Structure 1
Amino acid sequence: MSAEPLSPPTGLPLMRQRWSQLLFAHWPVAPEVLRPYLPARLELDLFEGQAWLGVVPFTMSGIRPLGLPAVPGLSNLHELNVRTYARLDGVPGVWFLSLDASLALGVWAARTLFHLPYLHARMSLTRTGHTLRAQAERTHRGAAPARFAAAWTPGTALPQAQPGSLAYFLTERYYLYTAGPEVAHAATGSTLWRGKVYHQPWTLREATLSTWESTVVESHGLPTPAGPPVLYAADSLDVWIQELRRV
């Protein structure tokens, strides 16, 4: 099972936001390549024996604590994350190697309150006609430099991804794991948090890639992904975020 069946959030969600202009780009990677980047307690989540590495640009908007209005200038950002997939005690989730983001306050809050490896970056994500373009340059002090530029065109809507399919494994994720904002130290630490997110199933689309220039994977000391990525564009959706709990 790659993700738990969709269910409404239990308890009180902390935050609401909207995700849009999203591209999932993934490559298969030998498990032994990614294993050193995860804490010993986490098991790599594999699809038919293969680990997967993802690069995901998107826009996050309407960010607000539950019950409060969004604050102009502080509620929108662009994000670019590098991720793989893990599980603990049978619960599958996302493991982030980095999350570059364009809003300094958002980076501070995510690192401080959610223990996530967010990094400062200059970013843009724009649409011209049907084509989306994302650009990022990491500016976080002390972090390895990285740049990203991609352009893609979303295409025909795909049938809803079903459990057991690769599309479901790569996109329908309702938990995340983190061990602190410094991934280089997190992999050797003993503290681990698990957070839950809730959203409706993704509406995935075919995607045609016209530009891809990136060093975000290589900034982690990983080899350049080989071959064309598995691509899915995704329609916008609303997301509820719940608190992280130590596990």
Structure 2
Amino acid sequence: MTVVQPSFEQRKQLQRRPDEKPVMFQTWQKLLFLHWRFDPAEIQKLLPPGLTVDTYQDSAWVGVVPFYMRSIRPVWSPVVPYVSNFLELNVRTYAYDENGLPGVWFLSLDANRWLAARFGITFFRLPYFWGKLTATEDSANWIKYSCRRYNDSKKQTHYFRYRGTGAASAAVEGTLDFFLVERYILFTELKMGQLASGQVHHTPYQIQTAELSEYSEEILGLHPLELPGRKPDHAVYSEGVEVEVFGLNHV
């Protein structure tokens, strides 16, 4: 069966809130989106059966996204300060399923809270890793962000220094900005190779140009991917969004 790549009209429909109850509330803050172009055939090898690499201008895209997770809680629980607030860094690419549903396929998610990593593995079957992540901000709004995965045999620390610059606005439908950041579906693989999808809802990101003074592409090599050897092909920043998370559904 040939599956047609989803249109931007189909993608935009996913911005609507599902008519169901969420299972979690989250706040995502101070997000840096860095993306590099890749050969679609190379990225297709990283996807499970049932997913097709999603492309823009004939390229696959891999993103590195460091950000702050805040006020994370199930719908039935209040915020617990230590557990509910942590740092996370995602490496992700984009795919669509056999129904033409576009979403995110996570190559890895690093978090500096062991419990958060275990929760993501247990309940969402996502490839979380526990690590040492730190973030500081200075008076000029520069964010210094670092990540070292504890089980990395090379003991690499990945550094990012960034801030948003210029006016913030929502991504325009049909643009690369929209294709990369306006994603509301995640895919995961359950036991026995069964694919599942989960949906999130938030207002569209208000994005700015990301100013970078330091970044690490070496984290891509953990997946494994050939290092691009160049600056990111796309870089934007967002102050963040309030998020509702919905339960998983079998694909």
Is TM-score (shorter-chain normalized) higher than 0.5?
yes
Distance 1:31 1:151, change over 3 A: same
Structure-2 separation of matches of 1:67 and 1:26: 36
Structure-2 separation of matches of 1:170 and 1:164: 11
Paired residues in the alignment total 239
Aligned match of 2:227: 224
Q: 1:121 Cα deviation (Å)?
A: 0.6
Structure-2 separation of matches of 1:179 and 1:20: 27
2:194 pairs, out of 180, 191, 196, with 191
1:92 maps to 2:102:
yes
1:53 maps to 2:57:
no
SS at match of 1:47: coil
Q: 1:21 Cα deviation (Å)?
A: 1.2
Kept in 1: contact 2:217–2:228 (CA 8 A): no
1:20 maps to 2:29:
yes
Query: Residue deviations 1:124-181, cap 9 Å, x none?
Result: 12211210111010014x888553101012101243212210000000001000115x
Equivalent residues in 2 for 1:124-135 (5 A)? 124-129=134-139, 130-135=141-146
Aligned match of 1:30: 39
Query: Residue deviations 1:43-100, cap 9 Å, x none?
Result: 1111121100100000001011114211121101101111000001111000000001
Aligned match of 1:168: 178
1:152 maps to 2:156:
no
1:117 maps to 2:116:
no
Amino acid at match of 1:82: V
Aligned match of 1:183: none
Distance 1:202 1:217, change over 3 A: same
Structure 1 unaligned runs (5+)?
Answer: 181-185
Percent identity between matched residues is 35
Structure-1 separation of matches of 2:198 and 2:154: 26
1:137 maps to 2:140:
no
Structure-2 separation of matches of 1:120 and 1:144: 15
Distance 1:49 1:213, change over 3 A: closer
Kept in 2: contact 1:146–1:214 (CA 8 A): no
Structure-1 separation of matches of 2:193 and 2:133: 33
Structure-2 separation of matches of 1:192 and 1:143: 30
Structure-2 separation of matches of 1:143 and 1:11: 43
Aligned match of 1:209: 212
TM-score of the two chains, using structure 1 as the length reference = 0.92
Kept in 1: contact 2:12–2:173 (CA 8 A): no
